[in-house]
Amino acid sequence: MDLNLKNKVFIVSGGSKGIGEGITRELVQEGARVVIGTRSQDKNTQDLLKELNSENETVHLLPGDLRDTDFCRAVVDQTVKRFDRIDGIVNNAGINDNQGLEQGPPAFRESVANNLYHYFDLVHFALPWLKDSKGSIVNIASKVALTGQGGTSGYAASKGAQLALTREWAVELLPYAIRVNAVLPAEVMTPLYRSWLSNNFGDPQLKEQEICRKIPLEHRMTTSKEIAAAVVFLLSDRSAHTTGQWWSIDGGYVHLDRGIE
């Protein structure tokens, strides 16, 4: 299916690792141009840029801290300066940082700053160009917004707010035909998830098997590529009449009975 994304321009926050990397790769495969705003400048990030730009310079990295409103403005300004348009935004950057009730108010506020404010900032600064292109916004939320997890108040609050903003923006932006949707991953194997397993469990492989048994469809984790395919579809005009939706891509983890064999 041709998603009609060739030469369209998308900002992907945190687009060089994990789910964000999967989204960047899928957009490039569809012929789109991608601007990544991220703090990551490590070898893996540089290798990704080298790989994806081997034929054409389709991916541009802007290093900086998305908690800084001025950096969010700069990401938008540099995107327009380089490509003269913005067709969509994928708000993806964030981290499940385990800042719960016991960690206290400063930790909670820092967690919300890490996970929420830049979602608003990027869309705010990009709005004039999204109006021009009748663009699309996809917010990467989390099943934690629906299920809770325990011990991660800041992350859960941020993810819940992202779902609320998805519906709020979908209404506010109706006059401009800008569509806004959210994708809710559950258990997705990324480098960060692998690190969490390794650092918190004596037998990471056993813990992974335990988690997979609770995922109804095929008893396996969702892949970053599967999340990316859903996101890119929502960005495209193939989903031209879809807005205000929360889409759980999770093998039935949240909405089906986990006791199903």
**CATH number (domain holding residue 77):** 3.40.50.720
Pair (160, 211) in one structural domain: no
Pair (33, 99) in one structural domain: yes
Task: Answer yes or no: is 3 within a domain.
Answer: no
Strands 179-185 vs 136-140: parallel, antiparallel or unpaired: parallel
pLDDT at 175: 98
Task: Answer yes or no: is 258 within a domain.
Answer: no
pLDDT at 94: 95
> Per-residue DSSP letters for 136-170?
EEEEE--THHHH--SS-HHHHHHHHHHHHHHHHHH
What whole-number percentage of the chain has pLDDT above 70? 100
One of 155, 176, 193, 253 is an active-site residue; which one? 155
Task: Answer yes or no: is 259 within a domain.
Answer: no
Pair (181, 242) in one structural domain: yes
Task: Answer yes or no: is 2 within a domain.
Answer: no
Q: Tokens in use for 116?
A: 């929420």
Pair (205, 103) in one structural domain: no
**Which uninterrupted H or E stretch holds 89?**
strand 88-91
The whole-number average pLDDT for the span 239-249 is: 98
Number of H helices, E strands in the chain: 10, 7
Pair (199, 104) in one structural domain: no
Task: Answer yes or no: is 47 within a domain.
Answer: yes
Is the pLDDT confidence value at 260 over 90? Answer: no
pLDDT at 186: 96
Half-sphere exposure of 260 (CA within 13 A, CB side): 13
Tell me the pTM: 0.95
pLDDT at 191: 85
The whole-number average pLDDT for the span 78-104 is: 96
What whole-number percentage of the chain has pLDDT above 90? 87
The whole-number average pLDDT for the span 117-139 is: 98
Pair (127, 209) in one structural domain: no
Task: Answer yes or no: is 111 within a domain.
Answer: yes
Q: Grade residue 155 by pLDDT with cuts at 50, 70 and 90.
A: very high
Query: Looking at the 3D structure of the chain, how many domains does it have?
Result: 2
Pair (139, 50) in one structural domain: yes
Q: Tokens in use for 62?
A: 């802007």
Is the pLDDT confidence value at 1 over 80? Answer: no
Pair (207, 115) in one structural domain: no
Pair (42, 136) in one structural domain: yes
pLDDT at 43: 87
Pair (120, 194) in one structural domain: no
Half-sphere exposure of 240 (CA within 13 A, CB side): 7
pLDDT at 138: 98
pLDDT at 192: 84
Query: For 107, which DSSP code?
Result: H
Pair (108, 199) in one structural domain: no
User: Average pLDDT of the chain?
Assistant: 95
d(CA 27, CA 25): 5
Provide the residue range defining the domain that includes 22.
Answer: 9-186+223-249
| Chain Cα centroid distance, residue 4 | 21
Q: Grade residue 200 by pLDDT with cuts at 50, 70 and 90.
A: confident
Q: Grade residue 56 by pLDDT with cuts at 50, 70 and 90.
A: confident
- CB contact at 8 A, 165 and 154: no
Pair (63, 155) in one structural domain: yes
Task: Answer yes or no: is 4 within a domain.
Answer: no
Task: Answer yes or no: is 44 within a domain.
Answer: yes
d(CA 153, CA 147): 12
Q: Is 126 exposed, middle or buried (0-12, 13-18, 19+ CB in 10 A)?
A: buried
pLDDT at 40: 86
pLDDT at 112: 98
State pLDDT tens for residues 168-192: 999 999 999 999 999 999 999 988 8
119 as an active site residue: the answer is no
- CB contact at 8 A, 189 and 226: no
Is the pLDDT confidence value at 259 over 80? Answer: no
